[in-house]
Amino acid sequence: MFYFDPTYFLFVALPTLVLSGLVQMYLKSSFAKWSRVPNSERMTGMQVGETLFNKTSLRPIPLEQTQGSLTDHYDPHANVVRLSTPVAGQTSIAAMAVTAHELGHVQQYQTGSPLIGMRSLLLPAIQFSPTISYIAFTLGILFNLTGLMWVGVVFFGFMVVFSLLTLPVELDASRRGLALLKEAGLLDTQEEVRGARQVLSAAALTYLAAAITSVMQLLYYINLIQRNRRYN
């Protein structure tokens, strides 16, 4: 089975493991560092969110607290922002930055961002792509059916495109979040600006790592098909 292919281990699995590990270490260390530094307004994440709704053009939506760490997200279906316990209750620069990022997503939906629109078009395909890709590629390998393997690659390609679109969406949300903080007058010091940018940049790296991983995986599948054709 291709799961035990040394090429996969050396050029996909190992680099992915190292890259993801380094990115997670940087994200956690950046978040921990700026979680210890209070923002100048001494506002919790929840209070930052309410202030951004009150002092910017954002239309207010519910803010909820959710369990876990770094589990913050905007749920467009329920139209609610959920902030993790450390972010919702802390008065840190990190909490302020993460909250602003999630409200940046809110602004994307409220203003009809084309990036969000393009990614949303792929959502129906993404729901079924992983299963179809896995089945098609596995059966193609087992029965030496190159055409079926290419079907698996095509459906995996939908996931790659989705991952590549996610990166600019997240970067744009961070850009919008910083702009909202400035509009609301919550970035009073250069330290706050520097801290917020570092936290948001670290978070963006996780999406960059995911995009790189998905592209590497796709290239491996294509290479495997080409090798399979040479040997048959």
Instruction: Name the token pair of 89.
Output: 């209750």
Q: How far apart are CA 113 and CA 131, in angstroms?
A: 29
Tell me which residue of 3, 99, 1, 9 sits closest to 48, measured CA to CA: 99
Q: Is 67 left (phi over 0), alpha (psi -120 to 50) or beta?
A: beta
**3-class secondary-structure state, position 15:** helix
Q: How far apart are CA 162 and CA 166, in angstroms?
A: 6
HSE of 94, CA atoms in CB hemisphere, 13 A: 23
Q: How far apart are CA 163 and CA 211, in angstroms?
A: 5
- Establish whether 102 is a catalytic residue: yes
Considering the candidates 41, 50, 64, 102, report the single residue annotated as catalytic: 102
Q: How far apart are CA 82 and CA 220, in angstroms?
A: 37
Which residues make Cβ contacts (< 8 Å) with residue 151, sequence separation at least 6?
132, 136, 137, 140
Instruction: Name the token pair of 149.
Output: 């393997």
Would you name the residues annotated as active-site residues?
102
